[in-house]
Amino acid sequence: MSQRWFLGLFSGESLAGVDAALVESSGVGEDWRCRLVHFVQLPFARDLREWLLRAASGNTLSARQVALLHRYVGETFAMAARAVAEQARFSLERVFCAGFSGHTIWHDHEARYSATLPLGMADVIAERTGMTVVSDFRGRDMLASGIGFPVTALVDYLLFHDSRENRVLLDLGSVATMVYLPRTGGPQHVIGFQAAPCTLLLDGLMSLMTGGREPYDAGGKHAVQGCCIDGLLKKWLAHPLLQKKPPRAFLRQDFGEEFVHQAAQHARDQNRNLHDLLCTANHFVTEAIVEAMHRFLPELPQRIVLSGGGVRNGFLWRLLEEKFKRISLEKSDVHGIPADARQAAGYAGLAALALDGIPASLPAVTGATGSRLLGHFTPGSFRNWARCLTWMANQASPLKAAA
């Protein structure tokens, strides 16, 4: 039996909520492929979002508050899991397991003892749904000296690689993350890294400059009315983090609240308005992506496949098109995975790889000292867990025979 169903649960730094993807898969291990059955986005409740924003901004929370957040986030992910199954009219009893990102409120890969803290009790999801849950994928990679990003690179390769052309997957989420898929050479030749800040910066500027009335620039309608502030753009592009070679990832605070406030003050000092500042920020994201692609990839791709919330920013899309005139740009929807669902589908893939005993980390991408099996298992119902154990035992039996 190679036809299986998995659930992917993801939440990014935008604090928009939980993405849940139900996928039907075929193949085992590195032959794994999937088809999206259904996808939902469940917004965070307002009070939960405010708590998470406080935590992400470095505000001190008591141990009690962190514990309650851990539980509350887990309940939200569980609701998303049930919602995607109900809308698809699909029984969760048929799902093997769920890949769960948690909601990361702290990640520091540069400290002496690197650490990451995703909130959300996997036990809650297992209890509410009966599914076995696989979580905490980044932790093992970081213990092997990796940076933990982008952790879904191998799944990206399995779903989007094409032997006829070089491709780049460009996720325009909180941070613009680039995954290069060469047409030859296999997964060990994949290159992946965070290329530039994206919606975290754009939405931060929009929210600040409108006093919170508009949390994001819908379609880029404000940015398209502005003029680029050349001096500010040049200053941003010289940021030391953008000069760093991969593997690399940004911390939320690198381009977070302080960066946004400094940018807004710069605009006010020059008598520039919201439109000009957003226009400059979109140019910054575009230029940083272009520069990273030219500097760190062995050759330019024939195709760029885009995903993430930034694909709805028409102004940003137009700027990218102008820079990549000879390269095809298209949404991941063309390949069967909607732009908003790509990350959640990636975590469904990580759960499948964990179940199949396939090391999911790619050292060339994260900088880890070697490839590792990723993920912690939280058993679901007795019946579900027994089925997972039986599957894993069957996958491991050839290895025992070889030994």
Q: Enter the tokens of residue 34.
A: 């999937």
- Tell me the helices (H) and strands (E) count for the chain, helix number first: 14, 13
Residue 82 burial by Cβ neighbours in a 10 Å radius (0-12, 13-18, 19+): middle
> Token match 């940083």: residue?
288
Model confidence over 60-80: pLDDT tens digits?
Answer: 889 999 999 999 999 999 999
Model confidence over 282-340: pLDDT tens digits?
Answer: 999 999 999 999 999 999 999 999 999 999 999 999 999 999 999 999 999 999 999 99
Model confidence over 9-42: pLDDT tens digits?
Answer: 999 888 889 999 999 999 999 999 999 999 999 9
Residue 145 burial by Cβ neighbours in a 10 Å radius (0-12, 13-18, 19+): middle
> Token match 């694909």: residue?
311
Of 160, 165, 205, 162, the residue nearest 178 (C-alpha): 160
The neighbouring-strand residues paired with 100 are 9, 135
Model confidence over 207-239: pLDDT tens digits?
Answer: 998 998 998 999 999 999 999 999 999 999 999
Q: How many CA atoms lie within 13 A of 95 on its CB side?
A: 32
Angle between helices 46-56 and 63-88 (to 10 degrees): 130
What per-residue confidence (pLDDT) applies to 397?
66
pLDDT of 402 higher than 60: no
Rounded average pLDDT over 106-128 = 93
Domain with CATH 3.30.420.40 in the chain: 4-153+342-402, 162-335
Model confidence over 230-280: pLDDT tens digits?
Answer: 999 999 999 999 999 999 999 878 898 899 999 999 999 999 999 999 999
pLDDT higher for 397 or 224?
224
What per-residue confidence (pLDDT) applies to 294?
97
Q: How many residues does the chain have?
A: 403
Q: Would you say domain 4-153+342-402 falls under CATH 3.40.50.970?
A: no
pLDDT of 153 higher than 50: yes
Model confidence over 161-206: pLDDT tens digits?
Answer: 999 999 999 999 999 999 999 999 999 999 999 999 999 999 999 9
Model confidence over 335-384: pLDDT tens digits?
Answer: 999 999 999 999 999 999 999 999 999 999 999 999 999 999 999 999 99
* CATH number, span 162-335: 3.30.420.40
**Do the bridges between strand 167-172 and strand 191-197 make them parallel or antiparallel, or are there none, so unpaired?**
unpaired
What per-residue confidence (pLDDT) applies to 279?
98
Q: Enter the tokens of residue 233.
A: 């753009």
pLDDT bucket at 398, cuts 50 / 70 / 90: low
pLDDT of 401 higher than 50: no
The whole-chain average pLDDT of the chain stands at: 94
What per-residue confidence (pLDDT) applies to 14?
84
Instruction: Indicate the range of 110-114, 152-156, 191-195, 228-232 predicted with least confidence.
Output: 110-114
Distance CA 8, CA 367 (A): 25
Task: Evaluate the omega torsion of the peptide bond into residue 43 and state whether it is cis, within 30 degrees of 0.
Answer: no
Q: What secondary structure does DSSP assign to 39-95, as a single string?
A: EEEEEPPHHHHHHHHHHHTT----HHHHHHHHHHHHHHHHHHHHHHHHHHT--GGG-
> What percent of the residues of the chain are helix, what percent strand, and what percent coil, each to the nearest 5?
50, 20, 30
pLDDT bucket at 53, cuts 50 / 70 / 90: confident
pLDDT bucket at 111, cuts 50 / 70 / 90: confident
Under DSSP, is residue 355 helix (H, G, I), strand (E, B) or coil? Answer: helix
The neighbouring-strand residues paired with 176 are 172, 196
- pTM of the entire predicted model: 0.95
